[in-house]
Structure 1
Amino acid sequence: MSDRSAQLKQLMAERILILDGAMGTMIQRHKLEEEDYRGERFADWPTPLKGMNDLLVLTRPEIIAGIHREYLEAGADIIETNNFNATPSDLVRYQLQDYAYEINVAAAKLARAVADDVSTDDKPRFVAGVLGPNQKTASVSVDVTDPGARAINFDELVEDYSLATRGLIEGGADIILIETVFDTLNAKAAVFAVQSVFEDLGASLPVMISGTITDASGRTLTGQVTEAFYNSLRHAKPLTIGLNCALGPGELRQYVAEINRISETGVSAHPNAGLPNELGEYDLTPDEMAAHIQEWAESGFLNIVGGCCGSSPAHIKAIAEAVADIKPRTVN
């Protein structure tokens, strides 16, 4: 175990650690246009690039660094890299598949530099290298006339996630975060890829896994209830397993409670700032969100907590203050 990993685990035993909040929400506040995404390097790119937020680590790194810094100054212990869709099979939509490795390295280096700049001996900061869910699912047919038709297969996902993992490690990530899992088969490919890269490199990082309950059915998009999701991935022996996205803290609470009931490892959660309104915006205030999270912490559910869609540094600051004096969940 590396010194950084040991330090992280020690801190997690002492207090509830704070994850950052939404990246996309913060990027939207900058009201970026097509030329911002293109920069000089991609000025003549043949496809529109606006909305490809991962590319900003190359074309507008100062904006991403600024967002990382805001979350750290709000009290985050862990910041997530800005590379949610940075695998070749996702980036092919923008004809950027050949830049996947570079984006992962750059995203990790950017977060690493800001985290190191803000870190102190009393409050070290960590970088979670993100492996997103992939736009394509290995479990669901893409053709109603052919139940076996798939947009991507397990081996292709492993190749994608292996490339991204190597890039994140090269860039200096402390943790690998497999998040927003809606298809457990995709997540299994990510776990296999991560473990294979660790074996190849002769070193490993702590792994966090976070699934997504997509609606009031209490299931992931591919049909698993919380307990089934957990049992499908417990073999990975992650640092934490938990839930994020899709639901606000009010709706997500019962599923976090279920993870807490069954998990043999740490529990993480980063819910949305409520449910989107008719304009697609999130209305839960920092104080309202913090009140929910405080109750979760008092119930003994949490080891790591942050925010997902709609959350901001103000939300993270309120959450950090709300759980500061509450003991973390006991991990056996």
Structure 2
Amino acid sequence: MGHTLNLHHDTFQEPERSETITELLKQAGGCVVTDGGFATQLERHGADINDPLWSALCLITMPHLIRTVHKEYLQAGASVISTASYQATIQGFQSRGLSTKEAEDLLQTSVRIAQEERDSFWKEYQNKVRAGTAHAGLYQRALAAASVGSYGAYLADGSEYSGDYGPSMTVDKLKDFHRRRLMVLADAGPDLIALETIPCKLETQALVELLAEENLRVPAWISFNSKDGTNVVSGDSLSDCVALADKCTQVRAVGINCTPPRFILDLIQAVRK
């Protein structure tokens, strides 16, 4: 899942490891390449992920394919790889009969797999540089981002592309849904947390409040999706969502994903205002 990101908070006190994003952008001349569609690559390798867990199903059934996809994106030049946890939730794993501990272990496994593949690839590349069989500067040491999808992604009913969670949904309910997953992923030690495909202002508020309440010492980015080039998919103003994110010191960047390319330039300009 590729992203267009805009860096924020240069003047704020930075949480631990927040310099990783800033330094990566600096080393890359202001532009880095993230990995692409994770589920698409898994399916190309024969994975059947027609399941509410989507690509996270492979954490249970085919973790070796997750390793393969990470390696392929690293070889292709990705400077940020995302864990296979976008649709991985404690509630979702429990619905398949797993215990809370088993669910939390799988979340941490998603981070560990990404880190191990990143470290293995980087070590192999450095050895090739020393041996004179690869050019120095061809690759950067990639960051491992713990991917966190929206509540709608867990529902697997398309609401991640509408933001329609019903009239009874509240900020507190969304915080209760996300809290433990965020804490478990952060404890696994990723370089950053990627809050992805956030479709509405309500969930944006829940996530930024949660990051602050739990004082997570891992920098985050938050990316939104849009279908009109002005608002997020719920119809809420993108600018309002960005303003919420901009008040949170843990959020180091905001971005756009899962959005028609023709809208990207206007959305970037709106974010920068």
CA RMSD of aligned residues (A): 2.9
Whether 1:149 aligns to 2:168 is yes
Equivalent in 19, 24, 33 of residue 34 of structure 2: 19
- Residue in structure 2 matched with residue 103 of structure 1 by the alignment: 106
Q: How far apart are residue 19 of structure 1 and its match?
A: 1.1
Q: How far apart are residue 256 of structure 1 and its match?
A: 1.8
Whether 1:115 aligns to 2:134 is no
Q: Please list, as runs of the form range in 1=range in 2, the aligned pairs for 1:1-332 lying within 5 A after superposition.
A: 4-14=17-27, 15=29, 16-33=31-48, 49=51, 52-91=54-93, 94=96, 98=100, 99-119=102-122, 123-135=140-152, 140=164, 142=166, 148-150=167-169, 153-198=170-215, 204-213=217-226, 215-216=227-228, 218-237=230-249, 238-247=251-260, 249-259=261-271, 261-262=272-273
CA 1:119 to 1:195, structure 2 compared with 1: closer, same or farther past 3 Å?
A: farther
- Residue in structure 2 matched with residue 301 of structure 1 by the alignment: none
CA deviations 1:61-87 (Å, max 9, x no partner) are: 110011011111111111001111222
Q: Distance in 1 between matches of 2:84 and 2:66?
A: 7
CA 1:218 to 1:106, structure 2 compared with 1: closer, same or farther past 3 Å?
A: same
Residue 224 of structure 1 aligns to which amino acid in structure 2? D
Q: How far apart are residue 96 of structure 1 and its match?
A: 5.1
TM-score (norm 1): 0.62
CA 1:2 to 1:242, structure 2 compared with 1: closer, same or farther past 3 Å?
A: closer
Give aligned-pair identity as a percent.
21
CA 1:156 to 1:92, structure 2 compared with 1: closer, same or farther past 3 Å?
A: farther
TM-score (norm 2): 0.75
Say whether the 8 Å CA contact 2:74–2:81 is kept in structure 1: yes
CA 1:117 to 1:161, structure 2 compared with 1: closer, same or farther past 3 Å?
A: same
Residue 258 of structure 1 aligns to which amino acid in structure 2? A
Q: How far apart are residue 154 of structure 1 and its match?
A: 2.7
Say whether the 8 Å CA contact 1:219–1:226 is kept in structure 2: yes
Q: How far apart are residue 141 of structure 1 and its match?
A: 5.8
Residue 216 of structure 1 aligns to which amino acid in structure 2? D
Q: Distance in 2 between matches of 1:69 and 1:6?
A: 25
Q: Distance in 1 between matches of 2:51 and 2:32?
A: 35
CA 1:140 to 1:30, structure 2 compared with 1: closer, same or farther past 3 Å?
A: same
How many residues are treated as equivalent by the alignment? 235
Say whether the 8 Å CA contact 2:17–2:218 is kept in structure 1: no
Q: Distance in 1 between matches of 2:52 and 2:253?
A: 34
Q: How far apart are residue 112 of structure 1 and its match?
A: 0.8
Say whether the 8 Å CA contact 1:133–1:179 is kept in structure 2: yes
SS at match of 1:32: coil
Deviates more, 1:72-81 or 1:50-59: 50-59
Q: Distance in 2 between matches of 1:134 and 1:96?
A: 20
Q: Distance in 1 between matches of 2:263 and 2:95?
A: 33
Say whether the 8 Å CA contact 1:132–1:179 is kept in structure 2: yes
Gaps of 5+ in 2: 1-13, 127-136
Q: Distance in 2 between matches of 1:226 and 1:192?
A: 18
Between the two structures, name the one with larger relative contact order (CA 8 Å, sep ≥ 6).
Answer: 2
Say whether the 8 Å CA contact 1:211–1:242 is kept in structure 2: yes
Residue 149 of structure 1 aligns to which amino acid in structure 2? S
